Structure 1
């Protein structure tokens, strides 16, 4: 019975952590795609887009601490 309780606690914890990381992933996907001025990646603009994404991520991580 004790092991079943531990299993239930771990199961709930793992479900919650998965939901948390899915929310974080969706947050960054949404904000990165909204912050990009160019929607289509080509050989010509890949460096500019990468610089924009890195700049965006640096700003967001600094806000988060």
Structure 2
């Protein structure tokens, strides 16, 4: 039990530190996409066929 808890805690802090490092790069990309898309937004959705031809919405950055 403690081994799983410790691994999860370590993974959480690694991901948190990675996000803190790359957030300025993501912010620059978001600002660039805002102006490149003329204010249309950063994310867009696209309908795609999935399992058993079920349509789902894919959210893209």
Q: TM-score, normalised by structure 2?
A: 0.42
- Answer 1 or 2: which has greater strand percent: 2
Q: TM-score, normalised by structure 1?
A: 0.40
**Which is bigger in relative contact order (C-alpha 8 A, separation at least 6)?**
1
